[in-house]
Amino acid sequence: MLKIEPERVIHALEVLRGTEVPWAFYTPSRLPELEDVHCWETPHDFDQDLGEHQLRRYICPKCEHESTDPMRCTAGHAPGVNQYPESCDATIWNSPDSWDSINPIIKLIIKSTFLADLTVHTIFYPKGLKLPEIQDVE
């Protein structure tokens, strides 16, 4: 379980906020949902689990074809590629929850950098990746 004292998170938020007024900074989009988050200790650990960069493929949750981009589908951008006649328009930003049932979009945290950027990364499911246990963030 990724345990972070609330004071450390508040301090990290205040450092990121800088001189921005609180009511404009503390918005739902700035504070991502931390349920069902997979955690890796370092970026290197995540890269190691993904495998060689040139071989990385992600499964598009909409068309279910392989994509070379973790956040937008690249399948079918050339007619007939991957037996998909039209290009797929799926992105992380337009993915409805209904797509998550077959090939999920995953949320992940890199523990070593989380307090510096408070970022929860969202990507298409990496092909062949064995995910670590989901960790509750407290």
> How far is residue 62's CA from residue 1's CA, in Å, rounded to a whole number?
31
Residue 127 has pLDDT above 80, yes or no: yes
* Helix (H/G/I), strand (E/B), else coil: 88: coil
> How far is residue 40's CA from residue 94's CA, in Å, rounded to a whole number?
26
| Contact (CB, 8 A) for 60 and 90 | yes
Instruction: Tell if the pTM clears 0.75, that is, is over it.
Output: no
Structure tokens at 30: 């700035």
pLDDT tens, residue by residue, 59-114: 888 888 888 888 888 876 655 445 555 677 788 776 555 554 455 788 888 988 98
> How far is residue 59's CA from residue 57's CA, in Å, rounded to a whole number?
7
Chain position carrying tokens 């349920």:
35
